[in-house]
Amino acid sequence: MKSIIRNWVKAFLFPRPLIGLIYLPRFFSHYLKYARALREDSLKISDMQPCLGDWTTHTPFDAHYFYQGAWLARCLKSKAPSRHTDIGSSVLMIGVLSGYLPTTFVDFRPIKTNLTGLTPMAGDILALPFLDSTIESVSCLHVVEHIGLGRYGDPIDPMGSRKALTELERIVAMNGRLYLSLPIGRERICFNAHRVHSPASILKMLPSMTLVDFSWIDDAGVFHEHDEVSAANDQEYACGLFLLEKQ
């Protein structure tokens, strides 16, 4: 009974909350059609696991996370570092990257994995376990905006994002690269989800880093590659992709 309840609750929450109600008649129509077509097997109501929100004309995706992962993979392929270090980004993306590039993955909550090419480490983005100016290639995607808001069990700190950027800047080697993404637009604190900064503010918080390239995802989810920073000034909740080099 617990599994039946769980499966039905999930059906109305994922992948899009309550949208499954619209497709419920179609689900039962398909169920009856399938049951009538069966010859040997049988359908049990207790085994039902409804998936009600997947009838779409296009495969849905989160534009920020889809494009930032694709952007990082292409940047790293072009630069071809001998090793890459990521701080707290998407584990799905890191798992793929480590298939062709040896990767160290640092997170406050380290992952348990035995993937070849992937070295997980425990670490705090405010006190990273690396010496000054020693890491050639570093990424941190959609992480900095959360620091200090307590959402993930981290200590409350209004200066969290600024301190995290300072720490990332500290570990990047001379002539090394930092691949950074975070929300851009009207500056504000959306407690306790995230902060939003203007592109100019982000660059000011990284004084020893030079912007090599800027791409971004706009409010409508459209990807803009190799663009001017000023092009993103009028956004509400966009995503800036900053390729920076330490000089």
CATH number at residue 157: 3.40.50.150
Q: Please give the average per-residue pLDDT across 147-171, as a whole number.
A: 96
Question: What tokens does 67 get?
Answer: 């494009």
pLDDT value, residue 101: 98
Question: pLDDT category, 203, cuts 50, 70, 90?
Answer: very high
pLDDT value, residue 54: 82
- Give strand pairing partners of 121: 106
**Quick check: is 163 in a domain?**
yes
| 109 shares a domain with 138 | yes
**Quick check: is 58 in a domain?**
no
- Give strand pairing partners of 100: none
pLDDT value, residue 40: 81
**Quick check: is 146 in a domain?**
yes
Q: Please give the average per-residue pLDDT across 192-200, as a whole number.
A: 97
Alpha-carbon span 81 to 145, nearest angstrom? 26
**DSSP for 87-101?**
ES--HHHHHHHTTTS
**DSSP for 207-222?**
TTEEEEEEEEE-TTS-
Q: Give 94's contacts (C-beta < 8 A, 6+ positions apart).
A: 86, 103, 105, 118
Burial class (CB in 10 A: 0-12, 13-18, 19+), 218: buried
**Quick check: is 55 in a domain?**
no
| 96 shares a domain with 6 | no
| 199 shares a domain with 174 | yes
Angle at 117 between CA 115 and CA 122, to 5 degrees: 75
Question: pLDDT category, 232, cuts 50, 70, 90?
Answer: very high
Counting the structural domains of the chain, the total is 2
| 38 shares a domain with 84 | no
pLDDT > 90 in the chain, percent: 79
Question: pLDDT category, 52, cuts 50, 70, 90?
Answer: confident
| 37 shares a domain with 104 | no
pLDDT value, residue 13: 67
**Quick check: is 56 in a domain?**
no
**Quick check: is 43 in a domain?**
yes
Residue 187 lies in domain: 63-246
Q: Please give the average per-residue pLDDT across 38-50, as a whole number.
A: 86
pLDDT value, residue 14: 67
